Amino acid sequence: MNKNLNLPNILSLTRVALLPFIVLCLKYNQNGLLFALMFLAVLTDYFDGFFARRLGQVTDSGKILDPLADKICVNTMVVALWLWRGFPLWAVILIVARDLMIVIGGLSVMRRKKAVPVSNWPGKWAVTVLAVAIIFYSMGWQPWGWYMLLAGLVLVGVSGAMYAKRMFN
C-alpha cells in the first residue's frame, strides 16, 4: 500500500467526509444522528494520531492532512453554528483568522526550511476544547458551550502566538 494512503490518513480523510452529513444534521435538527456523527469524527481525530504513532506510520503527508482536516472541520462547524445555533460571529472570525495564519505560516516555514512544521500542544488542546464547545453548541448545552468556547479561545490565542513566533524565527 502507498505509505501516504495508510490507516491514520484514511481516518483523517474520513473526518472530512463526515462533515457534509454533520452539517446537514445540524441544519435540520437531527440531534441524535448529529451527536453520533460528531462523536465518530472526534474518534477519527484521536485514532489517526494514535495509530500513526503505534503503527509507525507517521508521514509528512499525515503531518499536513491531520491538522488540515481539523481546520476544515472546525471552521466549517463554527460557520454552521453561527448560521443556525447562535455561535458568536466574533469567535468565528478569531478561529478562522488563527487557522489562516497557521496555514500561511506553515507554508512559509515549509518553503524556507524544507520541512513540515508540527502542531504544538496548545494547538492540539485548542482543537480538542473547541471540538467539545462545538458539540455543546450543536446540542444546545448552554452555558457549557460558552464556557468551553472561552477556554478554547484562550488556547487558540496561546497556540496562535506560538505559531507566529515560529513563523518569524
pLDDT for 55-77, tens place per residue? 999 888 888 899 899 999 999 99
The grid cell for 164 is 507566529
Q: What is the pTM of this model?
A: 0.89
Question: What would the mean pLDDT of 126-149 be, rounded to a whole number?
Answer: 94
- Under 8 Å between Cβ of 101 and 157: no
Task: Round to whole Å and give the CA distance between 156 and 150.
Answer: 10
Q: Which of 11-25, 85-99, 102-116, 135-149 has the lowest mean pLDDT?
A: 102-116
Single-letter code of the amino acid located at 111? R
What domains, with CATH codes, occur in the chain?
7-168 (1.20.120.1760)
What confidence category does residue 114 fall into, taking pLDDT thresholds of 50, 70 and 90?
confident
- Under 8 Å between Cβ of 36 and 86: no
What confidence category does residue 167 fall into, taking pLDDT thresholds of 50, 70 and 90?
low
The pLDDT of residue 37 is: 98
The pLDDT of residue 92 is: 96
The pLDDT of residue 1 is: 53
Task: Round to whole Å and give the CA distance between 18 and 126.
Answer: 21
Average pLDDT in the chain: 90
> What are the Cα distances from residue 107, in Å, to 47, 97, 117, 165?
26, 15, 9, 15
The pLDDT of residue 111 is: 81
∠ CA 155-93-17, nearest 5°, is 80
Higher pLDDT, 26 or 64: 26
Q: Is residue 143 reached through a cis peptide bond, with omega within 30 degrees of 0 on the bond before it?
A: yes
Question: What would the mean pLDDT of 14-25 be, rounded to a whole number?
Answer: 98
